[in-house]
Amino acid sequence: MSVDVGTTNVKAVVFDLEGRQVFKSSLRCPVYTPVEGWAEQDPDEVLNRSLKVVRDCVKAVDGRVEALTFSAQLYSVMLVDRSGSPLTRILNWMDGRSVQEASEVSEEMDGYRLYRKTGCHISPMMPVAKLLWLKRHRPERFGKVFKVLAMKDYLLHRLLGLYVTDRIIASASSLFDIHENRWDPEIAEFLGLSLDVFPTVVEPDKVVGEVDGSLSEKTGLPKGIPVVCGGGDGMLQNIGFGILEPGLAASNIGTSGAVRVTSNRIILDKSRRARFFCHALIGDLWCIGGAINSAGLSLEWFVDRFLDGDFGRFEAEASKAEPGSRGLIFLPYLLGERAPLWCPEAKAVFYGLTLNHGIPELSRAVLEGVILALNHIKKVLEAHVPPVKEVRTGGGGARIALLNQVQADVFQVPVYLTATEEGSALGAAILAAEALGYYKGLKDACKTMVKPVKVFRPNPENVRKYRRVFERYLRLSDALLRLFFRPRPP
């Protein structure tokens, strides 16, 4: 069973050893925005809802659970005191309050040097900036800190009594030296923290404990079954999609969106713009990629405000419009933008709107804009890694057939839809199955448990059209960034 703590939902998903999804329970998990730009979650609310979905799954499968593991969002941070009680809410990846602090970290410590050390572009999303904000604006709480934790770390502490994190989440924290495989003393000193405030780091397939009597009573899980650490959701999705070889890429269309590849070595951007991340996966495997802020979020925004929340109508309307939306382009920067632009000040834009455009063109332009933004990441990655020959896709947005066809046409490669929407949860389950000896290794486990179910192949005519559309998209994005953003390094 995988517990997957995402941006807006917490889920528990049960898989069998063939990778088939047996049962899933999901609950909404509120994100609080007391001030514009803030994004917080209540740690005990996340904990209690996690326990509830676990109980639902245990009941549905009559207690037949062999192991418990976890997948969780990246870039979250919170503080706890010596008793393990929260000093703050969870500041999740969407929290953008630390714009000034991120800029100061980059200036005082050389952001590109930190990128080369940590694999993380220093931005308001990163825990290093959030911690500096907490130090300045919540000094009384910061002064009481006993441990600095990510969301999943808090769950493991409450369930097992341990302070432990996985190497994926650690390497994505902006606080961890990916070359030395340790929390970075220079960054800790800059923040005024000792290294012992950070949790112990283990591999994501590490068995970190077992279900004791108390946890069994709370959840119904069998007493004594192993608890596997698990890891960060984006990287685990690479495993859940079977992205272990060069030439394969994952495309995720969740709340945010991402394009990621897997490498057997650390790869960093040659440009000082630090356009993509390099996070640990497992062993000597690394996840190289970039994420946009508003993928499924852009689709939801448009559908909720213009189509009464009807996604079926959205796909039907978008299908009426021709590829390229008759010259209409949408830049999906509703929450600013991450990779490869790294411009928190960016704003979403419809460009080229005329009296001849209607709901069909607007719908398709939003869908295309998300894929064009992901293609921008793909192009940047392909300057550093072998060319992508095949994309595997998942996430809620990938259930829209037109979106997958547009991915194939824009990416110019076949796009395979995977059997489950829950790629991150499956990735965690695959690691657990491999760790417990059900498979000879990760590749063996993925070969059995990962199941692409449908392929979308590029349409040659549409490929030609979208090549021109993408060129216009890049010119437009670059021109408008001059209005939003400070000058970028060369």
Averaged pLDDT score across all residues of the chain: 97
Please say if the pLDDT value at position 489 is more than 90: no
Q: 252 in helix, strand or coil? A: strand
Please say if the pLDDT value at position 488 is more than 90: no
> For the chain, what's the residue count?
490
The pLDDT tens digits for 132-163 are: 999 999 999 999 999 999 999 999 999 999 99
| Interatomic CA distance for residues 363 and 340, integer angstroms | 24
CA nearest 205: which of 449, 445, 451? 445
> Any idea what the Cα angle at residue 31 is, between residues 419 and 92, rounded to 5°?
80
| Interatomic CA distance for residues 68 and 1, integer angstroms | 5
Domains of the chain (ranges; CATH) run 2-229 (3.30.420.40), 233-490 (3.30.420.40)
| Interatomic CA distance for residues 211 and 225, integer angstroms | 6
One-letter-per-residue 3-state SS of 397-431: HHHCHHHHHHHHHHHCCCEEEECCCCHHHHHHHHH
| Interatomic CA distance for residues 386 and 52, integer angstroms | 44
**Structure tokens belonging to residue 432:** 């657990």
- Predicted TM-score (pTM) of the model is 0.95
The pLDDT tens digits for 436-485 are: 999 999 999 999 999 999 999 999 999 999 999 999 999 999 999 888 86
Tokens 């299908």 sit on residue: 319
The pLDDT tens digits for 72-98 are: 999 999 999 999 999 999 999 999 999
The pLDDT tens digits for 360-395 are: 999 999 999 999 999 999 999 999 999 999 999 988
Residues 6+ apart with CB under 8 A from 54: 1, 3, 12, 25, 68, 219, 220, 221
- Are 332 and 374 a contacting pair, CB within 8 Å? no
| Interatomic CA distance for residues 205 and 375, integer angstroms | 31
Q: Give pLDDT, residue 486.
A: 56
**Structure tokens belonging to residue 408:** 């194939």
Categorize the per-residue pLDDT at 487 as very low, low, confident or very high, splitting at 50, 70 and 90: low
- Are 226 and 248 a contacting pair, CB within 8 Å? no
The pLDDT tens digits for 193-226 are: 999 999 999 999 999 999 999 999 999 999 999 9
Q: Phi/psi at 402 (nearest 5 deg)?
A: -60, -40
| Interatomic CA distance for residues 218 and 53, integer angstroms | 11
Find the mean pLDDT for residues 402-406. Answer: 98
Please say if the pLDDT value at position 303 is more than 90: yes
| Interatomic CA distance for residues 56 and 358, integer angstroms | 44
The pLDDT tens digits for 336-355 are: 999 999 998 899 999 999 99
CA nearest 423: which of 380, 458, 384, 452? 452
Q: Give pLDDT, residue 490.
A: 45
- Are 65 and 58 a contacting pair, CB within 8 Å? yes
Helices (H), 83-212: 99-109, 111-118, 127-137, 139-142, 151-160, 167-171, 185-191
**Structure tokens belonging to residue 433:** 């199955």
Tokens 């062993």 sit on residue: 283
CA nearest 173: which of 139, 136, 129? 129
- Are 15 and 67 a contacting pair, CB within 8 Å? no
355: DSSP letter: T
Q: Give pLDDT, residue 281.
A: 98
Separation of CA 150 from chain center: 14
N- to C-terminal Cα separation, the chain: 47
CA atoms within 13 A on the CB side of 162: 18
Amino acid (1-letter code) at residue 187:
I
Torsion of CA 144, 150, 154, 156, to 10 degrees: -140
- Are 440 and 417 a contacting pair, CB within 8 Å? no
Residues 6+ apart with CB under 8 A from 457: 408, 414
Q: Give pLDDT, residue 209.
A: 98
- From residue 122, how far is each of 64, 75, 151, 342 by CA, in Å? 44, 11, 20, 9
CA nearest 38: which of 133, 139, 173? 133
- Are 428 and 228 a contacting pair, CB within 8 Å? yes
Strand-pair category, 182-183 with 248-253: unpaired
Q: 392 in helix, strand or coil? A: strand
